[in-house]
Amino acid sequence: MAHAAPRTPKAIERGSTTDLFSERAHRAALVAVPVLLGLVYGFWAAANRRHGGPVTGWNLLFGFVTALVFAVVLMALLALAPKLRREVHAVVWAAFCGIAVGFLFSQSGGSVLRSTALALGVTAGVFAVMFYRFYTHEDASGHAVT
């Protein structure tokens, strides 16, 4: 049988959940997570581009540049997007995800039309999910509903 995690009286009064990580760990994660995701994305894009052939210097450069761009854009999105209205916030996340998936698909040799169609499909799905999430978790002025 499951039991509730113990919380301090101050945490109960605040209505907050138990935080397992320190403020320092959260600050480190704001940089570490986008960098790790960028490295995975860059490796994936470089692997798609070489089509199973040998790894070359240009392929490594392409992977690292792709990882750098992905990580920087993701960090900017994590910093700036929460300040936007919920509609624009959802559009920005949807555009980021759609562009990322379309770019990966285009590196595997797919046509521009198929890459665009896939990106638009992903964008539409992510927009629907993110708009629903922001609409149900924020009030009309954009403040989180507790």
Of the chain, the end-to-end C-alpha distance in Å amounts to: 28
Q: What is the mean pLDDT of the chain?
A: 87
Instruction: Tell me the pLDDT tens digit for each residue of 91-108.
Output: 999 999 999 999 999 999
Residue 1 pLDDT grade (very low, low, confident, very high; cuts 50, 70, 90)? low
The larger pLDDT score, comparing residue 67 to residue 109, is at 67
Indicate if the pLDDT at residue 12 is higher than 70: no
Buried-state track 107-129, b at ≥16 Cβ within 10 A, e below 16: beebeeeebeebbeebbeebbee
Q: In whole angstroms, what is the distance from residue 27 CA to residue 17 CA?
A: 19
Instruction: Taking residues 19-31, report their average pLDDT.
Output: 83
Residue 14 pLDDT grade (very low, low, confident, very high; cuts 50, 70, 90)? low
